[in-house]
Structure 1
Amino acid sequence: EGRLPDRPAVLIPIASLKDPLSENIAPRGYTNLQLMSVAPAQPQAWGASEGSASAPMRSGYRHTPPYLAAKREMEERMLRVVEEMMPGFIRRVVWQESASPLTQERFTLSSGGTSYGLEHTLDQSMSARVPYQTEVPGLWMVGANTVLAHGYAGCMLGGRTVANMILQQSR
């Protein structure tokens, strides 16, 4: 639709639970929560021009008032939704940082800022995706763009699959 949602659906992964003993994720006594939502990929929705993020060097939009205002507005909308579910949440936030689909595209070169890898369509499924085993001995590929699936589940299942493949080879 090309505009920020008024009341975004918010997914709350808890990064601290992925490795609870690591203080690299969050210092002891703190929790690293990530708020995620679906957002428009169109640069105009973020106050930027078309093609703003399509190349690594095109990052001039990042510090413009319209972009910063749109990012701040999306943050506030997401925080309000979470505050409704967990009263007192906002006042307990000690560090806040955000990214937009433009950020994702700039850092990963993913078209439209998609965060789960290649589009999972029939023409980009299974054998059309990046294989686990490469021509380089000992080099394996795991991630959102590989054979099994995209997203968190695809990455985890792919990691397990590759680990099993390596174990089978070593027997």
Structure 2
Amino acid sequence: MGKKYLPEYKAARTLWEDDQLEEYKSAMEELLDEHDVPVNIYMRVLILLSISTDDRDKAEDARLACETFWQFTRKRYLYDPDRWAQTTLRCIRESLDELREVPEEEALERQAEEARRGWRRCDHLLKILYGDSDRDNENKAGVSKALWGIVEFHLRFEG
């Protein structure tokens, strides 16, 4: 795994850490356009692009591409005694595992928010049906006006 592009990668990462996102993205894209970028740098660039984009589809595409590269690279270096290669692959694996957790957490948050919205919609519909105050909408039988028609219909046709 070569080190030719490591300075460019570190410079681009520094841009990201300094919140210069436009410059960072163009530097990363330039690195990805190079045909002889080592796979370890390529995977790291994909990880950083996945982290930095607001577009969840692009982030997931970058993560999946990195996962594929990692699988092939892991097979290549599976029995290689090179500690640097093993350490690099382990660090990239840890980053990929963290990236995989992000969509899962976001999915759980989205589901919780959808449930909250559903309950709010339900509450809104109940207010429409029953009004703001249950006491104002109850009739003598103790049934709200919205349900009274159903009860009345049921009593007429069953009795």
Q: Quick check: TM above 0.5? A: no
TM superposition score category, shorter chain reference: under 0.3
Q: Normalized per residue, which structure has more helix?
A: 2
Q: TM-score, normalised by structure 2?
A: 0.24
